[in-house]
Amino acid sequence: MIRTIQTTPFDGQKPGTSGLRKKTRVFMQPHYLETFVQAVFDAIGGAEGKCFVVGGDGRFYNDTAVQIILAMAAAQGAASAIVGQGGILSTPAASHLIRLNKTDGGIILSASHNPGGEDEDFGIKFNMPNGGPAPEQVTDAMYAATKTMAQYTTLDAPDVDLNTIGTTHLGGMLVQIVDPVTDYAALMETLFDFPAIRARFAAGFTMRMDSMCAVTGPYAREIFENRLGAARGTVTHATPLPDFGGMHPDPNPTWAHELMAEMMGPNAPDFGAASDGDGDRNMVVGRGIYVSPSDSLAILAANAHLAPGYAQGLKGIARSMPTSAAADRVAAAMGLPAFETPTGWKFFGNLLDANKCTLCGEESFGTGSDHVREKDGLWAVLLWLNILAVRNQSVTEILTDHWQTYGRNYYSRHDFEAIETAKADQMMAALRAKLPQLTNTETHGMTIARADDFAYTDPVDGSVSTHQGVRILFTDDSRIVYRLSGTGTQGATLRVYLERYEPSSGNLNLDPQTALAPIIQAAHDIAQINANTGRTEPDVIT
């Protein structure tokens, strides 16, 4: 039976960098999720006759949310839904299913790399028929719809059995429960030289993949252990758990510390990797050496042609503005267009759809290509494996060779978390106000060439996004970027991005924190971080 439920609007249902993210208990309030789902359907012109992919990273409330979404879609006339078994789909796998089945989009449940559980975070986002996150015009329409929401419709029906693969009905809607891994793994086999990688594993190549008790466990086991022949147990923390086993599933040196300890230890495998809650992020590590995400993007771009899926070359390379310029150097050397977009994967979608670029990346452990419209953690790991197999070199050799060819963009990001929102806003406002006076001034022995607030004009649809981060650009190509996170759920997170270029003739083997020391000092002075926020040290350094 279709039921119409009266409700009143909730404050703050504004999608951020990647969908709506809140504490799980906020989502568990009566009508909260339903209001947002109704706003999604309203913003895309209704669910009638449409087909949606539905799934999430398995965190607490994932299964309940899937049932709520299916009941509302069925009540509102959706034709069909494709759902990952158990309600599970990694974000890149969901993006692939949306494209493969030519659906009308998908609803993905995840708060990405944020911890999960009843007292942690939950999230929801809508992806378009191209498989990519909804662009700003659409998320703005969703937010507008939430503000006046008075009612939603849903179906009174027993829960769908999410665990049994096959086809069933919910009201008039067809529900297909699919294996979350099969189609994704098949796509990976089309892109990479599985026999070459398998041969390397057979010859003794060793790897550790830390899935951090999040969604990639089943994908990684199937691909690395079953299809590529990596030793059993290569994938650790391989069972997705509702609270990620208490882990913070953010693949960076701070949170993936078990992997880091093993990779820096005496018995390190040849190659290590980790992925995040929903499987779109990755960190790669060699034996005794960490690969920064910005360098990883540049190296993948320089070597992608070694993988069959990219053998014909790249169309262009895109990076988010705060990501280091290492990838730009590769693009320049290869005569390829380079794009600089605001933070957030959604800005890459138009470039990919218009065939302007093939590879994209962000400093925040996100890399991907035109095979889907999300960043893709396991894809990046597989491309690394393909390159390592073909070049038959270690990660250290490949990194060293890259810096000797292109020079090194020393890079680091310092995060100051859970700052009082008012203080963070005030600091950014003061910083923006003084930008015009900074040009040609000197600080810590460096001269500021330009200071601005990054704005982006999409080269495909002409849309303009302003206030995307304050940039301080120095005459020697060094750079500081400040922005406030759009994904945090507690207070404000200040991100300070630091970069310095060292040509190949210079010292390529410094610790990045040492190489960046004067820039770090300048970053504190220019924004008066301590005076404004009371913080002297960042909470997380990547």
349 binds, among ligand G1P, Zn ion, none (CB under 5 to 8 A by kind): none
Q: What are the strands of the beta sheet with 207-210, ordered from one edge? A: 235-236, 207-210, 271-275, 282-286, 289-290
316 binds, among Zn ion, ligand G1P, none (CB under 5 to 8 A by kind): none
Quick one: 194 or 345, whose CB is closer to ligand G1P?
345
Q: Smallest distance from the beta carbon of 344 to ligand G1P, in angstroms?
A: 5
Does position 485 interact with ligand G1P (CB under 6 A)? The reply is yes
Q: Smallest distance from the beta carbon of 101 to Zn ion, in angstroms?
A: 22
What are the residue ranges of helices labelled H in 275-420? Answer: 293-303, 326-334, 349-353, 377-391, 395-406
Nearest-CA neighbor of 302 among 393, 394, 385, 406?
406
CB 120 within 8 A of CB 134: no
Chain positions 138 to 167 lying near Zn ion, rule: CB under 5 A, are none
278 binds, among Zn ion, ligand G1P, none (CB under 5 to 8 A by kind): Zn ion
Maximum pairwise Cα distance, the chain:
73
Three-class DSSP category at 13: coil
Q: Smallest distance from the beta carbon of 363 to ligand G1P, in angstroms?
A: 7
Selected range binding ligand G1P among 84-92, 150-158, 220-228, 479-487, rule: CB under 6 A? 479-487
Nearest-CA neighbor of 379 among 393, 396, 364, 360?
360
Active site (annotated) includes residue 112 = yes
Quick one: 95 or 303, whose CB is closer to Zn ion?
95
Helix axes 326-334, 395-406, angle to 10 degrees: 70
Quick one: 200 or 495, whose CB is closer to Zn ion?
495
Three-class DSSP category at 294: helix
Nearest-CA neighbor of 366 among 133, 79, 125?
133
Quick one: 362 or 370, whose CB is closer to ligand G1P?
362
Does position 376 interact with Zn ion (CB under 5 A)? The reply is no
Among 112, 146, 443, 489, binds Zn ion (CB under 5 A): 112
Contact letters (x/-) for ligand G1P, 112-141, by CB under 6 A? x-----------------------------
Does position 361 interact with ligand G1P (CB under 6 A)? The reply is no
Among 22, 125, 479, 495, binds ligand G1P (CB under 6 A): 495
- Residue of 90, 112, 478, 485 marked catalytic: 112
Helix (H) or strand (E) holding 66: helix 62-75
Tokens of 149: 């929401």
Let me know how long the chain is.
542
Selected range binding ligand G1P among 231-239, 481-489, 500-508, 511-519, rule: CB under 6 A? 481-489
234 binds, among Zn ion, ligand G1P, none (CB under 5 to 8 A by kind): none
343 binds, among Zn ion, ligand G1P, none (CB under 5 to 8 A by kind): ligand G1P
Does position 489 interact with ligand G1P (CB under 6 A)? The reply is no
Q: What is the dihedral of CA 430, 436, 441, 444, to 10 degrees?
A: 30
Report CA torsion sign: 447, 453, 456, 462: negative
Does position 103 interact with ligand G1P (CB under 6 A)? The reply is no
Q: What is the dihedral of CA 471, 363, 509, 338, to 10 degrees?
A: -70
Nearest-CA neighbor of 127 among 51, 22, 191?
51
287 binds, among ligand G1P, Zn ion, none (CB under 5 to 8 A by kind): none
Tokens of 185: 């793994």
Quick one: 210 or 280, whose CB is closer to Zn ion?
280
Please give the Cα distance from 28 to 5 (Å, whole number): 16
DSSP count for the chain of H helices, then E strands: 18, 27
Quick one: 21 or 329, whose CB is closer to ligand G1P?
21
Please give the Cα distance from 88 to 94 (Å, whole number): 9
Tokens of 243: 């609270």
Does position 278 interact with Zn ion (CB under 5 A)? The reply is yes
Among 5, 10, 17, 236, binds ligand G1P (CB under 6 A): 17
Chain positions 298 to 357 lying near ligand G1P, rule: CB under 6 A, are 320, 343-345
Tokens of 215: 């969604």
Quick one: 221 or 483, whose CB is closer to ligand G1P?
483
Please name the residues in contact with 493: beta carbons below 8 A apart, sequence gap of 6 or more: 415, 416, 417, 418, 419, 484, 485
Angle at 225 between CA 220 and CA 228, to 5 degrees: 100
Please give the Cα distance from 368 to 241 (Å, whole number): 25
Among 18, 303, 341, 350, binds ligand G1P (CB under 6 A): 18
Does position 364 interact with ligand G1P (CB under 6 A)? The reply is yes
Quick one: 414 or 495, whose CB is closer to ligand G1P?
495
Does position 276 interact with Zn ion (CB under 5 A)? The reply is yes
Q: Beta strand pairing status for 106-109 and 51-56?
A: parallel
130 binds, among ligand G1P, Zn ion, none (CB under 5 to 8 A by kind): none
Does position 280 interact with Zn ion (CB under 5 A)? The reply is yes
369 binds, among ligand G1P, Zn ion, none (CB under 5 to 8 A by kind): none
Please give the Cα distance from 179 to 345 (Å, whole number): 26
Quick one: 171 or 277, whose CB is closer to Zn ion?
277
Q: Smallest distance from the beta carbon of 276 to Zn ion, in angstroms?
A: 4
Among 487, 489, 532, 533, binds ligand G1P (CB under 6 A): 487
**Catalytically active residues, by annotation:** 112
What are the residues binding ligand G1P (CB under 6 A)?
17-18, 112, 320, 343-345, 362, 364, 366, 485-488, 495
Binding residues for Zn ion, rule: CB under 5 A, are: 112, 276, 278, 280-281
